[in-house]
Structure 1
Amino acid sequence: MQHHQLASKAEWLEARRALLKREKEFTRLRDAINAERLALPWVEVEKDYVFDTPSGRRSLAELFDGRSQLMIYHFMFGPDWEAGCPGCSFMADHFDGTLPHLNNHDVTLVAVSRAPLAKIEAYRKRMGWSFPWVSSFGSDFNSDFHVSFTKEELASGKVEYNFTQTPSEQAFDELPGMSAFSRDEQGRVFHTYSSYARGGEELLSTLMILDRAPRGRNETSTLSFVKRHDEYEEPARAHACCAA
């Protein structure tokens, strides 16, 4: 257990109020950034992308499922992988509970991976998830949105990821991200936003809770503690005083 300075209740209250001031500054900054995000210009998607889904082949426009907004999570799961990325699986653990709220808000959430649909469905069954998840295998979708890279691209020394040239040694053949799309009444689809790398951390409510826990994230590197939810060892037993 990390040791902390002890204080009187009055001293703690003074320190907490000082931190609250900073937290409020952060909230106002987040509101301002959200407004800037909504003000970004849009780009029409002119390429015809097709995905394998449990209901057959579907276009990008059809993934909206009748709604006007679509959020796509770029889930790291390559064609030759045997299981999905642990970090992306951690993210996906947060999806199912959001679906009724997102759908009611005219938003469809879909995960997309390059793994063949059969592998996706098998892994989804293992994890117990129900959110929509489709395969982009054989299409340019992942490449065009800079989340999948060929061996040649990785061997070149740099790849384009997170809107910059990233050294290949910091990249993999699959990387995570989230992209947003809008569909108008004429059926045109627009790309409105994408974020990559740590840009999606605020979507991880588990991290937001840990950030407020006494030991925080307690990690040695980003998400170093994360495993697939069926791979954790049995949690340590509570102290006797807490287990009564």
Structure 2
Amino acid sequence: MQHAVVSREEWLEARRALLLKEKEETRLRDRNRAEREALPWVRVDRDYSFDTPEGQKSLSDLFAGRSQLVVYHFMFGPDWDAGCVGCSFLADHLDGTLAHLNHHGVTLTAVSQAPLAKIEAYRRRMGWTFPWASSHGSDFNFDYHVSFTKEDLAKEKVVYNFTAIDRADAHDELPGLSAFYRNAEGEVFHTYSTYARGSEELIGTLMILDRAPLGRNEDSTMHFVKRHDEYEDAPKLAAACCH
């Protein structure tokens, strides 16, 4: 990348111009957040069953006694050997949020189609502690349009991110995030879902890279990402973290 090298005064002029646009972005984000919170809700009438380390649970059980539930739809298919690299990148940012979310009445959990044994083995490998349930054998992933059958993928179009996309752009598993509310009577409501890059703001590493001199420095979306134990310097980083 080629950059002009200028005086401090010229840099300040350019930075102040960008600051005005950043403030516009912040105000737009605030407006979008208000509209998101004002969305109507849909009552969840279907019963779903999930396998967890504590046994089989319903969707209501996943709230863990709180009124709000956020589900990260983690791409990990039943016949996969490991979880999605991009989802794993996002998941690296979740554990530190749990105490804060729980204190605010929010339970966060990942849900994947993979059987629980595969999920638990991969969780141990990655060193994560956030809740993670298996929807294997349930329609949950299909109803929330993050898993697709062979019949779905044989069609010309597949519904994802609230629109029909070409089957060439679809896979058996795709990422997303959904939010739910449970009232005092025990009724559960679906309040929000987002897909594709919609949950990108959960990835703090990207937000830091966006402010680094070379930005994301990527050829395609997150092409540089690996599972955190697959980087060449991973053993060195692990050792440094322990001393």
TM-score (norm 1): 0.95
Cα shift at 1:156: 0.7
User: Counterpart in 1 of 2:32?
Assistant: 33
User: Counterpart in 2 of 1:124?
Assistant: 123
User: Counterpart in 2 of 1:139?
Assistant: 138
Q: Spell out, residue by residue over 1:34-81, the C-alpha distance to the aligned partner (whole angstroms, 9 max, x if none).
A: 000000000000000010000110000000000000000000000000
Amino acid at match of 2:13: E
- Percent of paired sites with the same residue: 71
Equivalent residue runs for 1:1-244 within 5 Å: 2-234=1-233
Q: Spell out, residue by residue over 1:187-238, the C-alpha distance to the aligned partner (whole angstroms, 9 max, x if none).
A: 0000000000000111111000000000000110111111100001128x9x
Amino acid at match of 2:152: E
Count of residue pairs brought into register by the alignment: 235
- Give, in whole Å, the separation in 1 of the partners of 2:52 and 2:200: 27
Cα shift at 1:3: 2.5
Q: Spell out, residue by residue over 1:95-132, the C-alpha distance to the aligned partner (whole angstroms, 9 max, x if none).
A: 00000000000000000000000000000000000000
- Give, in whole Å, the separation in 1 of the partners of 2:165 and 2:191: 23
User: Counterpart in 2 of 1:242?
Assistant: none
- Give, in whole Å, the separation in 2 of the partners of 1:94 and 1:26: 23
- Give, in whole Å, the separation in 2 of the partners of 1:28 and 1:168: 36
Amino acid at match of 1:3: Q
- Give, in whole Å, the separation in 2 of the partners of 1:222 and 1:157: 25
Amino acid at match of 1:123: Y
- Give, in whole Å, the separation in 2 of the partners of 1:218 and 1:151: 36
Unmatched tracts of structure 2, length 5 or more: 237-243
Cα shift at 1:179: 0.1
Q: Hey, which bits of structure 1, 4+ residues long, moved more than 4 A?
A: none
- Give, in whole Å, the separation in 1 of the partners of 2:170 and 2:186: 35
- Give, in whole Å, the separation in 2 of the partners of 1:130 and 1:163: 31
TM-score (norm 2): 0.95
Unmatched tracts of structure 1, length 5 or more: 238-244
Other structure's SS at 2:227 match = coil
